[in-house]
Amino acid sequence: MSESDRELVIVGVDSAAFDPLLEVLEARKVVTPAQLRLLDTEDSGADPQVFANRSISVDVLEQFQFAPEQVVVLLKGGEAGRAALAAAESAGAWVLDGADNTRGDDTVAVIHPLLNSADIAGAERRVLALPAAGAAMVAEALAPLADQLQGVEVLLEQPVSALGKAAVDAMAAQTARMFNGQEAEIDPAIGHRLAFNQLSSSEALLASGHNLSELALVHDLRRLLGDKVAVDATINTASVFHGQLANVRALMAEDVALDQVEALLRNGARLKMSERPSAQEAVGGEETLVGRVRQSLLNKRQVNFCAASDNLRKDLAINCAQIVHLLLKNH
C-alpha cells in the first residue's frame, strides 16, 4: 500500500493541541484532505473542520471502525481516549498517544523525532507516545551535552494550555470577570484561580510531594536521556495561555568550561541562543530558545541555563507531524 492510500485519524477535536496540529499538517502537506479522518465522542457536538480549503466532517468515535492501514493520533484522554487506543491497537493501526493515555507504560516507546526516531522500528507494540511538552523541550536542549551529563534538575513554568482547552477557557473567563470588577469563579478540580496567579502545583500532591505530571516529566526525560542520568523535576503553572519556560540545572561528569557548553548548545539541532529567553518570544516558533548559561555558584560541575518553547505548536504539533510522516512513509 502506498503512502497516499493510508489514512491519518485524529481523535479529539476539542483538544487545545488540535488547531496547531491541523495547521502544521496542512502547511507541511503531511496528508491530503482525502486522507484525513477526524473523530470525537458522540456528545462533543463538534462542527466540521477546514483543512486545505476542504470541510472535513467530525465522525462519532464510538461508531468508528479502525483499520490496519491507519495512523491514529490520540489527543483525547480519559475513558474515551483509552477506549480508542484499545480499539485502534486491536485493529492493527499505528497509534501515537499525545494525551497521556499510556503514561508510565514502559511497553510503549516514547519518541522524540529529533532524538530517537530510529526506536520506532524496534517498538514492542504499534503504540508510541509523544513525550510531555516539557520533556521534549528539555531533552532537546540537553542533547548536545548528553555525553557529559550526569544529572538534571528541571523547574518548568508551564502555561495554562498545558492543562487543556477547558483550563484556557476558564482563565479567559476569570480574566474577563476580574477586569469587570467581579469575583472569578474557581475550578474545584484545580482549587485555585488561574488568572493573575502562579501555582506551585495545579494537581493534587502524592505522598512524595510530587504530582503525577512531575513524575511523568521525570519518566519521559529518563527514557530520552538514558537511565544513567539522575532526574528531578518541579512543575509550576504560570498565568499565561501559551509558551513554556524551564530553568535547567545540568550536573556534568567533570568540570567544563562555559564557552564549551555555549558552543555545544549553539550547534544543537533546533536550538537558538537567546540572551534572555522568554515564553512569549518562543510562541509561534519552531526552535527551542536557550540562554542565560552560567556556572552554578554551588558546584563547579553544574551548569544552569533557561530554555523556552511553544508548548503546543513546536513540542506537540510539529513533533507529532514529523512522527506521523515517518509512520505513513516507512511503517
* Pair 208, 61 in one domain: no
Cα–Cα distance measured from residue 126 to residue 171, given in angstroms and rounded to the nearest whole number: 37
CB 20 within 8 A of CB 283: no
Taking the whole predicted model, whether its pTM rises above 0.85 is answered as yes
Predicted confidence (pLDDT) per residue in 312-330, tens digit:
999 999 999 999 999 999 9
Residue labelled with grid coordinates 477506549? 83
* Pair 171, 49 in one domain: no
* Pair 92, 168 in one domain: no
CB count, 10 Å around CB of 120? 18
* Pair 172, 116 in one domain: no
* Pair 77, 152 in one domain: no
The CATH number covering residue 113 comes to 3.40.50.720
CB 141 within 8 A of CB 265: yes
* Pair 127, 139 in one domain: no
CB 9 within 8 A of CB 39: yes
* Pair 59, 99 in one domain: yes
Predicted confidence (pLDDT) per residue in 153-164, tens digit:
999 999 999 999
* Pair 267, 146 in one domain: yes
190: its cell numbers = 484545580
Residues in the chain: 331
Q: Is 121 exposed, middle or buried (0-12, 13-18, 19+ CB in 10 A)?
A: exposed
CA-CA distances (angstroms) from residue 140 to 43, 77, 214, 294, 313? Answer: 38, 25, 18, 19, 15
Q: What is the DSSP letter of 177?
A: H
Does 189 or 317 have the greater pLDDT score? 317
| Kind plus residue range of the DSSP H or E element containing 290 | strand 288-295
Predicted confidence (pLDDT) per residue in 252-297, tens digit:
999 989 999 999 999 999 999 999 999 999 999 999 999 999 999 9
The CATH number covering residue 281 comes to 3.30.360.10
* Pair 124, 199 in one domain: no
Q: How many CA atoms lie within 13 A of 61 on its CB side?
A: 30
* Pair 49, 148 in one domain: no
Q: Could you tell me which residues are beta bridge partners of residue 250?
A: 152, 303
Q: What is the DSSP letter of 253?
A: S
Domain that holds residue 296: 135-311
Say how many domains are in the chain.
2
* Pair 110, 238 in one domain: no
